[in-house]
Amino acid sequence: MEEFAALIDRLVYTRSRNEKLRLIAEYLRATPDPDRGWALTALTDGLDFPAVKSSTIRNVMKERVDPVLWTLSRDFVGDTAETASLLWPAPAHDGTKPPSVGETVDLLGKMTRANVMAELPKLLDRLDISGRYALLKLATGAMRIGVSSRLGKVAFAQAFDVSVEDVEEYWHGLQPPYAELFAWAADGADPPDIANLPTFRPFMLAHPLEETVVDLADYAAEWKWDGIRVQLVHAGGETRVYSRSGDDISATFPEMVDALAIPAVLDGELLVRGDTQGGAEGGAASFNALQQRLGRKTVSKKMLRESPAFVRLYDALILDGEDLRKKGWEQRRARLESFMARLPGTHFDISRIVEAENFDALAKIREGTRDDAIEGLMLKRRDSPYVAGRRTGLWYKWKRDPLLIDCVLMYAQRGSGKRSSFFSDYTFGCWDGDPDAGAELLPVGKAYSGFTDDELKKLDRHVRQNTTNRFGPVRETNKSLVFEVAFDSVHESKRHKSGLAMRFPRIHRIRWDKPVHEADRIEALRALVRD
C-alpha cells in the first residue's frame, strides 16, 4: 500500500499526461500480482465497496473529531478523503505492517454496513497520511486525480509494449485483478480467449467537424441521434447491452436482451418510443423520456409498456462470427442492411442515410432540423474501417448550433479536485415575470463548464465579494451577473420549481456588461419546449 500511496501522491501533483503515463507504467512493471492488478482496477474506476461511501467516512470522522471542525475543514479543503487523512487521530505506531493493496481490497470487500464503523478505523490506523488518502480514494471509487480509464489502459500498454487496442479488446472479458492480462502482456502467455464471451469492444468515435468541409462523394451523412450509444453483443448463448463506457446496462433494458439471439456485435443508439414523435424518422421520443429509465436497477412492467426501448443501428462489428471491423464502412453498411431482416422490427431499425447534393445543401438540412431526438449529423468516410477511438479524417460529428438564453447567477458551490479551492459550479435562473414589477428569479439550470481558467478566477472573486447567504458549501450571491447559457434542448420537469430542465447547459459567455433585468424570462425558455 505504501508504493500505491506514493504513486497516488505523485499523480496528484503531476499535470503532464506523459509523466502520468510514465509513473503508472513504472509502477505496473515494478509491482507484483495481485497488487498491480488491483491498483490498475482502482485507477480505472473498477472498484466498488457498497459499505464504504462518503457518508461512512463522515460518520467515522465525527466520532473522532469535533463535528464542527470536520464540517469547516471539509468545506475548506473540498475533498473528503484528503480532509479525513489529515485529521485522522492516528494511534502510536505498534509495529503493525501497512496492508498491501491486495489485502486492503480483501478487507474492504468483507466490510458490511453492520461492521464498517468498526473495521474501517482499524485499517486507517495501520496507515500514514498518504496511505490513508490513497485508501479512502480507493475505497470510495472517487479517485479524481487526473487519470481516466483510458489513460490507465494506455499506461498498461506502454508498460509492456503491447497495443492499447488489444488491451481494450481483452479488458472487458476479464475480471480484476486481471491476472490473464498481465500474464499475456508481461510474461508472454497466450492472449486471453474471449471469442465465446459476450464482451464489450471499444467504440469508434468521431472528431468535431469544426471548420472542416468534406466531399460527400467520400463521406456519407447520417443523423446523430440524441439517445445513448450502446453496443449489443450476443456470444456464447448470452446477450449483453453495454454503454459507451463499457458498463453493462442489460438489467436496465431487459427487452433489448431478449431481442437479440443471433451471434453479433452491433453498434447503435438506444432510444425510447413515446408521445413525442420524430415524424418520418420513426417516432423516437426526446432524451427526457429516455432519462426516466436510465440508472434503474429494476424496470416496472408499466415503464416497459409506456416507454419501450429500441435501438437505431449504426454499424455492425461482428455478424455470425465474422469480424467486419477491417472492412470499409460501405461494406459493413450493406451487410447490416441485409441483416436487418433477421431482427425484430419492434426493437431494431437502422439510421437512414441523409441525402444531399453537396455540403452546402447538407448544412441547410442540418440547420432546418429541430427534432427533439436529433443532435445533428454524423459524417463517415465511406471506406473507413471500424477502429477503436478517434482517428483523424474518418468520422466527424456535426452538432446543431446550441440554443442560447440569458440567465442570472444565483448560487455557487466549490468544485472538486483541482477546483476545490474555487467556486466553480453555478446555478442560474430566469425571471418569473417582469423583474421591474418585482418578479422573482427561478433556478433553471446548473453548469460548471464553458469558461477559461482566467474567467474562473474572476467568477470565484465575484462570488466571494457578492455573497449574501451561506447554505453549507453553497453560497447565494446578489443577483448582479448575467450568463449567456448554451444548451441543446429544454423539457418540462416536475423536479424543478421552474417546471423546466435544460439538456447539457454550459456557460457560453459571461455578460459582465449586461444589466440583470435584461435577462430572459421563464416564458422565453418555456417557448423552446417542443410538444
Distances (CA, A) of 344 to 170, 286, 332, 347, 363: 30, 22, 20, 6, 34
Distance CA 226, CA 369 (A): 13
Answer for the pair 270, 207: CB distance below 8 angstroms, yes or no.
no
Evaluate the CA torsion angle 333, 386, 152, 186 in order and state its sign: positive
Q: Cell for 456?
A: 474562473
Q: Kindly give, in sequence order, each residue whose CB lies less than 8 Å from that of residue 106, ignoring residues fewer than 6 positions away.
A: none
Q: Cell for 436?
A: 421591474
Q: Cell for 431?
A: 425571471
The backbone torsions φ and ψ at residue 286, rounded to the nearest 5 degrees and listed phi first, read: -70, 165
Whether residue 34 has a cis bond before it, omega within 30° of 0: yes
Q: Which residues are catalytic?
A: 224
Q: Which of 474, 380, 469, 360 is nearest to 423 (CA)?
A: 474
Answer for the pair 86, 129: CB distance below 8 angstroms, yes or no.
yes
Distance CA 142, CA 48 (A): 10
Alpha carbon 431 to its chain centroid, in Å, reads 32
| Amino acid letter for position 56 | T
Q: HEC string of 431-483?
A: ECCCHHHCCCEEEEEEECCCCCHHHHHHHHHHHHHCEEEEECCEEEECCCCEE
Place of cell 485483478: 177
Evaluate the CA torsion angle 337, 340, 341, 346 in order and state its sign: negative
98: left (phi over 0), alpha (psi -120 to 50) or beta: beta
Query: First and final CA of the chain: distance in angstroms?
Result: 56
Place of cell 480467449: 193
Distance CA 35, CA 472 (A): 39
Q: Which of 247, 268, 240, 253 is nearest to 307 (CA)?
A: 253
Distances (CA, A) of 18 to 30, 155, 448, 502: 18, 9, 27, 37
